[in-house]
Amino acid sequence: MTVFINSEATDVASSFKVEDLLEQFHLAQVKGLAIAVNDMVLPKSEWQSYVFQENDQVTLIRASQGG
C-alpha cells in the first residue's frame, strides 16, 4: 500500500506500524519527535498500536533548538 511520508509517496506493507516507520527512518532513539497522521498529532501512547491505512498523510516533526 502507499502512504505519504512528508509528502513523499512510500510503498509499505499493509501492516505497517509507527514502530516500523521509526525503524525504517532510523528514528527510534530520536528525542523530540512528533508524528501527525492526516493532520492530527498521533499521541505517543498510540505509537505501538497504530497501523497506517492506504493513502495516510504522515508528517514527521522533529523539534530543534536554535536562536
- For 9-66, the pLDDT digits (tens) are 999 999 999 999 999 889 888 888 999 999 999 999 999 899 999 999 999 988 876 6
Q: Are 55 and 3 in contact (CB under 8 A)?
A: yes
What's the whole-model pTM score?
Answer: 0.85
Q: What is d(CA 2, CA 12) in angstroms, rounded to the nearest whole number?
A: 6
For 16, residues 6+ apart whose C-beta sits below 8 A from its C-beta are: 1, 3, 51, 52
Can you name the CATH fold of 2-62? Answer: Ubiquitin-like (UB roll) (3.10.20)
For the chain, give the number of residues. Answer: 67
Sequence ranges of the domains in the chain? 2-62
pLDDT value for 30? 86
pLDDT of residue 66: 64
Q: Can you give the pLDDT at residue 28?
A: 86
Instruction: Say what the pLDDT of residue 29 is.
Output: 87
